[in-house]
Amino acid sequence: MNLLEKTKGLMKSLWKDEAGQGLVEYGLILALVAVGLVVVLGLMKDELVTLFTDINTELAKRPTTGP
């Protein structure tokens, strides 16, 4: 059996093997959610910077307590 036939046989067996299919599907879903999150946060960047700047400003105005 030559290398091409061995490779062909291996590819056929891998194609039919469904072990790990669920894990791959969950990985793809996770990747899709991550890409969506990056896109949404990228679009909201200016609003988020303003929000956290306002929070920081308000916290800086508060008196500090402690020794």
Residue 44 has pLDDT above 90, yes or no: yes
Instruction: Calculate mean pLDDT across residues 10-31.
Output: 83
Show the tokens assigned to 13. Answer: 């067996």
What average pLDDT score do residues 23-30 get?
A: 90
What's the average model confidence in pLDDT over 29-34?
Answer: 96
pLDDT of residue 23 exceeding 90, the answer is no
**Confidence bin at 26 (pLDDT 50/70/90):** very high
- HSE (side-chain half, CA atoms, 13 Å) at 52: 5
d(CA 10, CA 22): 21
Whole-structure pTM over 0.75, yes or no? Answer: no
